[in-house]
Amino acid sequence: MSTKYDSQRGLDRLLKEIDMSMLTPSDKRVFLARLSEHFEALFSHFTHVYGYHYDCYYHLRALLNTLAKNLSERTESLKALDASRLSNPHWYAHHSMLGMACYVDLFAGDLQRLKARIPYLQSLGVTYLHLMPLYRSPEGDSDGGYAVSDYRQVDPKLGTVSDLQSLATELRNAGISLILDFVFNHTSDEHAWAMAAKGGDKNFQHYYYMFDDKSIPNQYEPHLREIFPQVRRGNFTFDSTSRKWIWTTFNNFQWDLNYTNPEVFTAITDEMLFLANLGCEGLRLDALAFIWKEMGTDCENQPKAHTIIQAFNLCLKIAAPAVVFKSEAIVHPDEVVKYIDKEECQLSYNPLLMALIWNSLATRKTRLLTASMQKSFSISPDCVWVNYVRCHDDIGWTFDDNVAWQLGINPHDHRQFLNAYYTGQFEGSFANGVAFGENPNTGDCRVCGSLASLVGLEDALADNSIERIKTAIDRIMLTHAIILSIGGIPLIYSGDEVGLLNDYEYRTQPDKQHDDRWVHRIPLTDQDIAASQKQGTVQQQISARLQHLIQLRKTYPVFGAGNTTIIGTENQHVFVFLRQSSASDSVSVKSQNDNNTDETPTQLLALFNFTEHTQQVDAKYLAQLKAPHLFDLVSEEPLSHETTITLAPYQIRWIVPKTPTFYS
């Protein structure tokens, strides 16, 4: 193959030219071994995107120098972590995994005080902590930190780089993997690269998409989506300093990086590896769908975006292989899955499951959820979903229109119904949500609100209705039980574990009031935590029931690696799936001394009632569980194969076969 030949020749030549002087003999051996494994693929991706540049080879050499330098800067303990992850690459599929996402300031104040909250995280069972972007960013509106001015500096209000580094170590010692954001589609307009570009530096102007006038932007524009139409129409911003039009997919102050420029690829790789070397174990690829622009398309999910991400992944494999990628593609389900591959992103948010859980709560029907999961849940066994119910962003209705049509649902009308339902414009709705990103042309919008407010707790508490409070708590449990059991990493949004309600304070703050996502970005106070530990409070009920479910997940390997089969039953109000753990997981479990190894079930039938009414599901589905005796882990009731499965309002059942003889 000519690529192989070219890449081998290229590598031989490059190795003579790159600077490996800073590598210790053992690092050099590791570096060369990893290059011999991955260089061919890296070469092929890099030349696929940049081969037409006359100086492509020069850029490739710069890239390898960057990789060598970053490998040399990796600490010994991170190198040890690299080795251990390489020997156990599927660590993230383990049933002990439990994720949490939080803002440093809202969760703890700053990085130092976050350390003091590690015991709290441990008490919840958290093993994966995503800290929302904490880098230096513009004063005032910084899109919640997603406008990065310097990847190598922590926002001074939160602490320092060395605080972050020591936090990463403390977290790891506590069994918690740190996940950081890799915001690589754009930088803030205050990043040194953007400042140089504003000042007229031609080299840095090529780091962004900058146009002298609107003639080219006008050719792109008709095909592009508008992400924040409430703050700016169109996708381009006029910069009065450079007097150029800049591509800004998100806010005016977030300048899209130009990945047609190989220097940008290498420069961002250097920033990425800097973050990896701080000690994070996962990087969340923010807005990854937007990184490649192609005239005449919507400039999302372009094939070269995938090539570039795969190339970044290879750079990690060479310089920091302990780190995995998490895809944040909030796009059509058929596009979401294309980012998920061990060569691309090992982890991915599951926006389809998230949106359809909300859909089922509103409609009390599970047909769209079931049909969509049947089509889209299954992914490579090397990868896992990160399943969530709420996050720092809005809820968008990202389901596949064709699946909806097949069920006789008009997708456009249905989205309008869902928006109305969750934003208080639908008679009888339980939700307190806020509309976000309304597009005056299309009438589209998305939904904001905290989990507790969206499931009806805010209203129920205001009315002091004991019954509706209970129902709202039941809904919180139902949604969390799904993400805890369906397969993948469950990711809890900080504050949801104690049922924080919407916070309307942002409406009085000039730098926040135009962005309604702040309604669900809420401080978690010591009082909230204390309330969650005080017998009889609503917070305590939520926290205790959630703890119970988490403990079950942590006890039984069937919640970890394995397969999920989504089951459509005759009852359209109940969501049902079957989990089967993989044989390899059962073996690894024995070696980890889990409880119940003798009786560890390898199957689980999970059922969720999405209504306020008792529901029944035919007993025939229990036949999937191959054992004479059955047991519901949640209610701790024995069940028999013959009886119809009954579910009380919003009841969760996790049914397992109960007998050691299953193993014989």
Residues engaged in binding ligand GLC (CB under 6 A): 143-144, 146, 183, 227, 250, 286-287, 328, 330, 392-394, 396, 446
Question: From the candidates 286, 344, 496, 585, which is the catalytic residue?
Answer: 286
* Token pair listed for 232: 């700016």
Q: State which residue has the least CB distance to ligand GLC.
A: 146
What gap in Å lies between CA 605 and CA 622, rounded to an integer?
Answer: 8
The secondary structure of residue 222, as a DSSP letter, is G
> Cα 263–269–274 angle (5° rounding)?
135
Q: Which is nearer to ligand GLC, 143 or 155 (CB)?
A: 143
* Token pair listed for 98: 């439990």
Q: Which is nearer to ligand GLC, 82 or 328 (CB)?
A: 328
- State phi, psi for 208 to the nearest 5 degrees: -125, 175
Q: Are 451 and 389 in contact (CB under 8 A)?
A: yes
Least distance in Å: CB of 229 to ligand GLC?
11
CA atoms within 13 A on the CB side of 318: 29
Least distance in Å: CB of 501 to ligand GLC?
21
Q: Are 561 and 582 in contact (CB under 8 A)?
A: yes
CB atoms within 10 A of CB 274: 14
Q: Which is nearer to ligand GLC, 251 or 479 (CB)?
A: 251
In this structure, the dihedral spanned by the alpha carbons of residues 345, 349, 352 and 357, taken in order and rounded to 10 degrees, is 150
Examine the residue annotation and report whether 328 is marked as an active-site residue of this protein.
yes
Q: For residue 369, what are the CA distances in angstroms to 322, 351, 398, 416, 511? A: 34, 12, 12, 18, 37
Least distance in Å: CB of 40 to ligand GLC?
33
Q: For residue 53, what are the CA distances in angstroms to 20, 268, 362? A: 26, 18, 53
Q: Which is nearer to ligand GLC, 459 or 516 (CB)?
A: 516
Q: Are 656 and 562 in contact (CB under 8 A)?
A: no
Q: Are 224 and 250 in contact (CB under 8 A)?
A: no
The secondary structure of residue 626, as a DSSP letter, is -
Question: From the candidates 328, 344, 459, 516, which is the catalytic residue?
Answer: 328
Least distance in Å: CB of 187 to ligand GLC?
10
Examine the residue annotation and report whether 286 is marked as an active-site residue of this protein.
yes
Q: What are the b/e assignments for 241-250, b being 16+ CB within 10 Å?
A: ebebbbbbbb
Least distance in Å: CB of 251 to ligand GLC?
8
Least distance in Å: CB of 329 to ligand GLC?
8
Tokens 């962003």 correspond to what residue? Answer: 393
The secondary structure of residue 482, as a DSSP letter, is H
Q: Are 380 and 337 in contact (CB under 8 A)?
A: no
Q: Which is nearer to ligand GLC, 341 or 393 (CB)?
A: 393
Q: Which is nearer to ligand GLC, 181 or 344 (CB)?
A: 181
Q: Which is nearer to ligand GLC, 446 or 480 (CB)?
A: 446
Among residues 315, 320, 369, the alpha carbon closest in space to that of 344 is found at 315
Least distance in Å: CB of 185 to ligand GLC?
7
Residues forming the active site: 286, 328
